[in-house]
A and B are shown apart, each in its own frame.
Chain A
Amino acid sequence: MKKLWTLLKIDYTMALRGKFILLTLILAILLTVIINFVLPEKLNTEMNTYILDRTSNTRIATFLNAQGDEGNAIKIRATKSEEELTSMLTKSNGVGIIFEDNRVIIVKQGYEDEATLNLITATINLLTKKLTGVYSPKSFKYTVLEPQSTEKLPFNKSMIPPLIALDVFFLGFYLIAAMIFQDKNEGIINAYRISPINVFGYITSKVVINSSLAIALSLILGVATVGFHMNYWHYFVIVTLSALLISSLGMLLSQFYNSLSEFMYVLIAFTLVIAIPVISYFQPSFSVPFFKYIPSYPIMFEIKNIISSAQSKEIWSVSLLLAVELAGVLTLVYFTSKRILFGRRRSS
């Protein structure tokens, strides 16, 4: 324990004087400001639809006016001429629909995605059916599969999970690599190798100090943005396991290299892998089963559940998955460190 305590003191002092702790605090403040004051709670996704009714008795405009658009995402605005419609489209976000007796012309901005255009087409079809009396539902009811897990997060809060996932990566992976390279470049590893240090202590100290930075940042960010309206025990478990796992991965890979410039390729590749699940987070349809094994995936989705106070059934299974991955990586780190960092070398 005395040796481990000594190593922890060394690594803490190095993190402090290497400005790692200052960097963590600055990052926490910056992200808090961005989430609380820069990002809006709600993104304005309202889309205006400008219609021009050229049908013989303007029955479309009459029908739509009678329906109203209260609560609809698509706001319908009638125009009197094609010039007015074009002018409105140039001033604001939206699409134009020109109804004629035998055809419908959709005037788009050019950047609408396929889903939006399909939605407009479906709406027009429904409108036609309603007008002709083929289909006339009295009301619409929305049901969801798991009511507890889909409590909607404000837009700014929904950014917390990916930000935490990426920061845990940055602080854990990048900074532990920086520490290892410092030990190598200053020759400290050789000084340790001729001392009765134990490898386990060396690994534990580095992983614990770097993970602490990521945990501290996550806790500061949690309190400053969400407040105390979430289960901090669950939050702490997920963040801690994730931070330990990412730091251990950083240590595992960095020991094979001698400098940050040599390590850059690994860093870029690893960043890309870690970032892939962020796409799934924002676009849930883009999800491949193996994503679940990329650490950033469970971190993001579990933190999202925790922040939205949803009763996640997966918290413990995700924790177990992270713990198993952590145990595997730490075992690898132990044997590789023993051989690469602390073993008798075959050359200097």
Chain B
Amino acid sequence: MIEVKDLYFKYSEKDAFSIDHISFKINKGEIFGFLGPNGAGKTTVQAILTGLLKQQGGTVLYQGKSIEEQKEDFYNKIGVSFEFPNLYGKLTGYENLKYFAGLFSVPTVDPNFLLDLVGLKDITNKRTEQYSKGMKQRAVFARALINNPKILYLDEPVSGLDPTTARNIKQVIQKEKEKGTTIFLATHNMFVAEELCDEVAFINEGKIVTIDTPKNLKLQYGSKSVEVEYKMSGHVHKELLFLEKKDDKSKLQNIIANHQIITMHSKEASLEEIFIKVTGRGLI
């Protein structure tokens, strides 16, 4: 469905690559998670895939047709939810969606239904300048669904939302997938990715470090991990070590031999822990 080959991008000649020769494929109807910390290049990739940014090198193909060749009809088929909400503040939530719907040449969804879906039913007639950031984000998410998109781009869709609202949004995303929508999900929230994605790509400093299903990643990195708590110089330290990695294995042997062990047990690593292990940095 979507095929990206050797894509690269830099914001200026002097800068390092923001996107450094990345390649991936997204199959129809799957949720593809693009995971990485802030500034890793997730939003830049989404901007290139949606045509907001001009690609400098590599190819982006939609069913074999380049993004550069896509015409007006392409935008009838996609929905985009931005990380930073962009709504007309002087229009109500309902008006923002209703007017946006008027720009499409395909059947659209009832704005009230969508606003209800994301928990904004009670404030549909309130101007969005009076919404909180989370409310605006949900309104933008609802707007992305207005044209029944075949491809959905979501940039940090649950960032900053309370757990209940985040769960509702995740359910909506899951329902979209069940309808056959292909979803590109850019996030730094590994729990969301773990819960929703069929396949995930770890992106760090513009490069894709690894791509696989969450299950395979866990099998590959997480099944033989040990969490150990030990005392060193009077302080308690905690480490997650992957026994398949030589360095980790010898580190564990060193801890057992030279320090007082408080607790030690095998555990399945989370995607976040795997990300840290693979990239050497956290997700924030």
Contact = CB atoms under 8 A, between A and B. Distances in A.
A195 B86 contact: no
Interface size grouping (class) on chain B = 35 or more
B44 A348 contact: yes
Nearest to B53: A345
Nearest to A13: B91
A345 B12 CA distance: 12
A5 interface: yes
A32 B102 CA distance: 39
B47 A348 contact: yes
A39 interface: no
Contacts of B62: none
A272 interface: no
A187 B82 contact: yes
Contact of B102 (A6, A14, A194): A6
Interface residues of A, number: 29
A96 to B, nearest CB: 64
Contacts of B100: 191, 195
Given A13-B95, A344-B54, A195 B11 contact: no
Contacts of B44: 348
A9 interface: yes
B88 interface: yes
A50 B136 CA distance: 77
Contacts of B47: 348
Contact of A6 (B87, B91, B99): B99
A334 B47 CA distance: 23
Interface string B247-273: 000000000000000000000000000
Nearest to B153: A194
Contact of B12 (A196, A344, A347): A347
B75 A194 contact: yes
A116 B173 CA distance: 83
B245 to A, nearest CB: 37
Contacts of B73: 196
A192 B99 CA distance: 11
Contacts of A10: 88, 91, 99
Interface in A173-217: 186-188, 190-198
B88 A186 contact: yes
Interface in B18-69: 43-44, 47, 50-55
B167 interface: no
Interface in B95-110: 95, 99-100, 102-105
A17 interface: yes
Given A5-B102, A347-B11, A187 B86 contact: yes
A2 B2 CA distance: 31
A229 interface: no
Interface in A1-41: 2-3, 5-7, 9-10, 13-14, 17-18
A3 B43 CA distance: 28
A195 B95 CA distance: 16
A138 interface: no
Contact of A18 (B51, B80, B82, B90): B90
Given A194-B75, A195-B104, A196-B103, A14 B52 contact: no
Contact of A190 (B11, B76, B78, B86): B86
Interface in B108-156: 127, 143
A190 B72 contact: no
A9 B86 contact: no
A10 B92 CA distance: 11
Given A14-B88, A14-B90, A187-B86, A196 B104 contact: yes
Contact of B103 (A3, A14, A17, A343): A3
A14 B55 CA distance: 34
Interface in A328-348: 343-348
A193 B82 CA distance: 12
B84 interface: yes
Nearest to B87: A186
Interface string B1-27: 000000000011000000000000000
B89 interface: yes
A344 B53 contact: yes
Given A13-B95, A348-B47, A195 B82 contact: no
A188 B78 contact: no
B51 A344 contact: yes
Q: A9, A190, A191, A347 — which one has the most chain B CB atoms within 10 A of its CB?
A: A191
Given A14-B88, A17-B90, A347-B12, A3 B102 contact: yes
A18 B53 CA distance: 31
Contacts of A2: 102
A50 B154 CA distance: 86
Contacts of B127: 17
Nearest to A10: B99
Contact of A346 (B54, B72, B78, B90): B54
Contacts of A196: 72-73, 75-76, 103-105
20 contacts: A10-B91, A17-B91, A18-B90, A186-B89, A187-B86, A188-B87, A190-B52, A190-B86, A191-B143, A193-B52, A194-B50, A195-B75, A197-B103, A343-B54, A346-B54, A347-B11, A347-B12, A348-B11, A348-B43, A348-B53
Interface of A: 2-3, 5-7, 9-10, 13-14, 17-18, 186-188, 190-198, 343-348
Given A188-B87, A196-B73, A347-B53, 11 more contacts: A7-B103, A9-B99, A17-B91, A187-B84, A190-B82, A192-B103, A194-B50, A196-B72, A196-B75, A197-B75, A348-B47
Closest 10 CB pairs of A and B: A187-B86, A6-B102, A344-B54, A196-B75, A17-B90, A194-B80, A196-B72, A195-B103, A347-B11, A10-B99
